[in-house]
Amino acid sequence: MANDAETGPGLTFPQDTFAKLTPRPYLLAHLKHKTPVRPNGRQQNEFRQPTINTGSLTHSNGSAVVRVGDTAVVCGVRGEILLASDIPHPPSDDLEEQDLVEELGLVVPNLELSTGCSPAHIPGNPPTSLAQSLSYRISAVLHDSHCINPDDLRINYTEPKTEDDLPDEPPKEVTKAYWTLYIDILCLALDGNAFDAALLAVTAALRDTTLPKAWWDPDRESILCSPVVSDSRSLRLSTMPVASSFAVFSTASHLKKREEAQSWILADADGFEEELCDETLTVVLNSGPSTGSGTTSILKIEKTGGTYIGKDVTDLCVRQASKRTSDIKTALGNR
């Protein structure tokens, strides 16, 4: 294939057949043009535009459906009550407030891929390592970004004054229970880059979440909630993490000299491109009031699979991710 003097008559195929038979040369032929373009028509640094719909599920406290190209992800947030008396190891007093959510396990995200979203993910098997690692990565981002304020999840009770209390002392507030948020993410259709879409769906769903007003009833010794809509309050996210993933397509192989290899960075790889790329880079940027009025900071950079991406390339990707983050913020803000 490298020596391209025409040796004999060639075969003619329609585009789809060529893509199925020899995917690598197909992609390479596209990228080798003077102005490289990808088979799906996008530029190298072009992301797919997301479509976000929130609040469509009736049984969740918050929900979102996100479509990024042909990848579709639905996320539902459910709140349940964890009584403080049920916690086996109550948190110590010197635990930082922002670590409380992680310590008590109040946010439980799970990503389910075995929904028939692609021919490789048929139900009937336990979660693959891909699904498990995606769930864990989302959990890590949610905890490290401190986007959920533990105060929003507390259900407090003001203890009535007894005779033993001093008259000047303010009434004691005790946390009787916590809201636990079950974040269930289902992938309905997979065409590459599940992580970005899933994190976007989680963020959109959390912003849409409303929790009912809850109080401790001393007579029943349990928590009661109000079904009135006007009593409920929205969950406020203090920061907003947005992920941008990049894949590297490379012609490097152990049969060739290293200098002869060519590589291209592809932003937001779709299913076809993801299969052909070994090296990936994910940049998670965090933005919001607590990071300093409207500025964005780097929360996480994850890179696996190869050695092409160095300092300069990472810098370039972070800039592209920053632009992507502001596009996403606009899309979320305009829902």
Partner 1 sequence: MAMLADRRRMNAPPGGTSPPVFASLPEAKLTKPIRTRNPDEHRKIFLRTGVVPSASGSAYYEISPSNTPRQTLVPSSSSLKITCTVHGPRPLPRNAAFSSNLLLTTHVKFAPFATRQRRGYVRDSSERDLGVHLETALRGVVIGDRWPKSGCEVVITVLEGEEDGWWADAEEGGKAGSWGMMNVLAGCITVASAAIADAGVDCVDLVSGGVAALTAERNGEGVLDPCPSEHDIKAACVVGYLQSRDEVTEMWMKGDAGSGSEALIDNAVKAAVLTRTVLAEAVKEATEMKIGKTSEAAVETTNTGKGKTKDIQMTG
Partner 2 sequence: MAPYTNIPLSPAELSYLHTSLAQDPPIRPDGRSPTQFRPLVAETDILPSANGSARICFADGTEAVVGVKAEVERTGRKGGLVRGKEDGEVEGEERGEDGWLDVSIEIPGTRDDDALPVFLAAMLTEALLADGELKGRLVIGRVWHWRLFVDILLLSQPLSYPLPLLSLTTHLALLSTRLPALISQKDEDPLFNDDWEASTHLFPRQPTTNEPETKPPITLLVMTVGTNILFDPSSDEIAVADAIVAISATEDSKDGGLKMVALRTVDPPSRLTSAGVPTQANTTAGGGLSAEETLKLREKDAGATVWRPPRGGVSRTVLGRMIKKVVEKGGVGEEVLEGLRGVKS
Residues 115-174 contacting partner 1, CB under 8 A = 115-119, 122-124, 126-127, 132, 135-136, 139
Smallest distance from partner 1 to CB 239, Å? 21
User: Which among 51, 66, 50 is positioned nearest to 206, based on CA atoms?
Assistant: 66
User: Phi first, then psi: what are they for 330, rounded to 5°?
Assistant: -65, -45
- Residue 29 touches partner 2, criterion: CB under 8 A: no
DSSP-derived letter for residue 97 is G
Smallest distance from partner 1 to CB 211, Å? 9
Closest CB to partner 2 among residues 165, 221: 221
Measured distance CA(113)–CA(187) in Å, rounded: 5
Cβ-contact 264, 288 below 8 angstroms: no
Size of residue set near partner 2 by CB under 8 A: 4
User: Which among 33, 79, 49 is positioned nearest to 267, based on CA atoms?
Assistant: 49
- Residue 79 touches partner 1, criterion: CB under 8 A: yes
Binding region for partner 1 (CB under 8 A) out of 114-122, 249-257, 296-304, 321-329? 114-122
- Residue 58 touches partner 1, criterion: CB under 8 A: yes
Across-strand partners of 109?
183
Q: Which of 23, 31, 42, 87 lies at the binding interface for partner 1 (CB under 8 A)?
A: 87
Across-strand partners of 265?
248
- Residue 294 touches partner 1, criterion: CB under 8 A: no
x/- mask, partner 2, residues 202-241, rule CB under 8 A, reads ------------------x-x-x--x--------------
Closest CB to partner 2 among residues 89, 220: 220
Tokens 């880079």, residue located: 281
For Cα atoms 284, 288, 289, give the angle at the middle one, nearest 5 degrees: 150
- Residue 122 touches partner 2, criterion: CB under 8 A: no
Cβ-contact 53, 174 below 8 angstroms: no
The contact set with partner 2 (CB under 8 A) reads 220, 222, 224, 227
